Amino acid sequence: MATKVYETKRIKLVDGTIITASPLKLKYLREFLSMFEFVKECKNDNEAIEYLTYCALIAMQQYYPQISTVKEVEDSLDLPTIYEVLDIAAGIKISKKNTKDTVKDQAVDSGSTWEKFDLAKLEAEVFLLGMWKDYEELESSISMPELTATLEARRELDYQEKKFLAAMQGVDLDKQSGKQNAWEEMKARVFSGGQAGNASDVVALQGANAQKAGFGIGMGLSYEKLN
């Protein structure tokens, strides 16, 4: 079966226009999450919805640039559709059917944060691949799931190369270190919620650690591993 790094979704606007939504590129995600910080300080749902609408407007820069003002967002998307956009854009999950929790609480509980990892460090690692002329181009080109998949593939290749070179010298790298594949072990620790994971590393954005941080792969920004 074919695999995907992330899912896309077709969203219907009030006038019948169909747009395709996907996880935000890093350029827009950074701006989106900066605006989302204001939601955490809101005193009521009306204020929260106002800032969430601004977040949806930022997402429209990627999905449908013709919508360029908050009023146009309000005229083009009903509230459930705005919530749908927030979910696919950055994993912000809000349901009108949930009458127990406020909109603010739902958003913040599932909301995203930059506090748990060093994005600059992750971008620097990927930038070394030499595919982008500068960081602005990189951030405009890839989303968080794409960054994660690229880092995973690069690290796996690096490890296999080191393992091969060690084997040429008669050294079993796995056995010498007393470990199985170091990359696989690190992933296993993260997926099992192990405490040994590095919170600044991109793998901390997955599994149990992601749930604790309130952001991560599998929380709106889902993907399938490429084997």
Return d(Cα 51, Cα 120) in angstroms, integer: 26
pLDDT per position as a tens digit, 78-130: 999 999 999 999 999 998 888 888 999 999 888 666 566 677 888 898 998 88
Confidence of residue 1 (pLDDT cuts 50, 70, 90): low
Query: Can you give the pLDDT at residue 181?
Result: 52
Do 84 and 136 lie in one domain? The reply is no
pLDDT at 207 over 60: no
Averaged pLDDT score across all residues of the chain: 80
Do 13 and 82 lie in one domain? The reply is yes
Number of domains in the chain: 2
CA 107, 14, 223, 23 dihedral sign is: negative
Query: Can you give the pLDDT at residue 72?
Result: 97
| Within-domain flag for 153 | yes
Higher pLDDT, 181 or 118: 118
**Angle value at C-alpha 146, between 159 and 54, nearest 5 degrees:** 145
Query: Can you give the pLDDT at residue 219?
Result: 47
Do 90 and 152 lie in one domain? The reply is no
pLDDT at 53 over 60: yes
Do 53 and 81 lie in one domain? The reply is yes
Domain of residue 159, residue span = 119-213
Dihedral in degrees, nearest 10, Cα atoms 214, 118, 155, 1: 30
| Within-domain flag for 208 | yes
| High-pLDDT (> 90) share of the chain, % | 45
Q: Last residue of some domain: 78, 93, 110? A: 110
Do 49 and 130 lie in one domain? The reply is no
80 contacts 11 by C-beta, under 8 angstroms = no
Query: Can you give the pLDDT at residue 191?
Result: 46
Query: Can you give the pLDDT at residue 38?
Result: 93
Mean pLDDT of 177-199: 51
pLDDT per position as a tens digit, 123-173: 898 998 888 999 999 999 999 889 988 988 888 888 788 888 888 888 777
pLDDT at 226 over 80: no
Reference 52, options 117, 106, 14, 15; nearest CA is 106
| Within-domain flag for 226 | no
pLDDT at 223 over 60: no
Confidence of residue 195 (pLDDT cuts 50, 70, 90): very low
Higher pLDDT, 161 or 177: 161
Higher pLDDT, 46 or 218: 46
pTM of the model: 0.70
**Which of helix, strand or coil describes residue 23?**
coil
